[in-house]
Amino acid sequence: MIPIGSLSQPVFLKNKRDLALIAVLLLLSNLTACSVNNFSTAEKGKTLFLSRYSFANLPGWLEDNVDAAVPAMLSSCSCILRKNDDKYISSAVPRFGTVGDWRKACMALKHNFKTNSSAATFRAVFEEYFAVWRASDEISSDDLFTGYYEPTVRGARKYDVNYTVPLYSRPDNLIMVNFGNFRKNMKRESIAGRSEEFQIKPYDSRAEIEGGSLKNKVKAIFYLSDPIDAFFLHIQGSGLIILPDGSHTRVGYDGQNGHAYFPIGQYLIKEGYVEHDGISMQKIRTWLKNHPKQMHSIMNLNASYIFFREISGEGPIGAQGVVLTAGRSLAVDPTKHALGVPIWVDIDYDYYNSRIRRLMVAQDTGGAIHGPIRGDFFWGSGESAGEMAGPMKAKGRIWLLLPINVNPNSMH
């Protein structure tokens, strides 16, 4: 998945011609370090129901090292508290309270973090300043949980015989428009294309780009050694690049060509190339590697193509604008949830030694994450994280931890 969430990306205008082209459509806003949580209001469909619960009945509450989630929570708190106290932490879902509602709880966590408090102490802090709310929809209280990760790939800043696969920067003539900024009923609809003669026309497909359509026209910020690595980097949307001298840097999502994502795994199943049972990213990767003559044509079935930018920091950046934390950051549907909210999960994942019961923080979104209980679990960076993320298709439940003075059922 693309963790940053393509629909939350702003429109960048590179020249006056582009500005004239869509001035009647767009209001421009500056990027800040933290997302303003201004996703469009809730769509028709499944509703998030919340009912009061107790910490005593929360499965696994006493076993989790909740202190491991506190750094992630404090990163989210720093974003929340940058706004005025009378502002909602999410304008899309105001039921989760104002900044003022969250300030006391966030400051209590910050104080205890400075004093190196234990997991038991932080449990007590959460129990004093937060209330538990069990989540459900119209049908049930569980839903699908998938996983994602930050790939680690080998690359170089310059083309040579060992590094031939380009990662392109955002083209100057690429325009991305989120219709949800203008029509509430179109919040999941967007369009991307190129500006030409005061019109937006379809941008080049993956096959066209792989065929060289952008060569010498768009800057390649890195070159990778493996086309399969590049393909899966596009799917994840960000990654860690190991350079020839052993140093590393990161790249993150900076735009998309506007073509729909096509899951090649479904095609491989349909054509009988792989078995349906146990389909995973690892199995797709293995099939591509073992079929080099078909590899490019299969990958090009997915016409979607991602553009990247180099980023700094200790990890990939989520939709809230904070560095994601392995095992503690969760991607959610931003039309149902507010980013920055701590969430308790209970996930039945076969690849894990036991049920995953732990405190996480809603810090990211994704194009495939729809629904009140749907979640995408961030596993971290590298091959081992990919091995856990790839096959994850597990059932799970969630509970939201909200400040005690917030009643999410009093405002919808």
Q: What pLDDT digit, counting tens, does each position of 252-264 carry?
A: 989 999 999 999 9
| Any domain includes 229 | no
At 245, the pLDDT band (50, 70, 90 cuts) reads very high
CATH number for the domain spanning 54: value is 2.40.40.10
Instruction: Tell me if 332 is assigned to some domain.
Output: yes
Q: Would residue 169 count as lying in a domain?
A: no
The answer as to whether 232 is a domain residue is no
Residue 248 included in any domain: no
Are the C-beta atoms of residues 209 and 168 closer than 8 Å to each other?
Answer: yes
pLDDT at 112: 92
Instruction: Please tell me the total count of domains within the chain.
Output: 1
Q: Would residue 283 count as lying in a domain?
A: no
Closest CA to 305 of 243, 237, 251: 237
pLDDT digits (tens, 9 = 90+) for 118-142: 999 999 999 999 999 999 998 888 8
Mean pLDDT for the chain overall: 88
* pLDDT mean over 356-377: 94
- Say if 226 falls within a structural domain: no
Is residue 276 included in any domain, yes or no? no
**Does 4 have pLDDT greater than 70?**
no
- Per-residue pLDDT at 39: 52
C-alpha 76/C-alpha 359 separation (Å) is 14
Find the domain containing 383 and state its range: 49-147+317-403
Query: What tens digit of pLDDT does each residue of 138-195 get?
Result: 888 889 999 999 999 999 999 999 999 999 999 999 998 878 778 877 766 778 999 8
Residues contacting 127, CB < 8 A, separation 6+:
55
- Evaluate if residue 330 carries a pLDDT over 90: yes
Helix (H), strand (E) at residue 256: strand 248-256
44: pLDDT confidence band, cut at 50, 70 and 90? very low
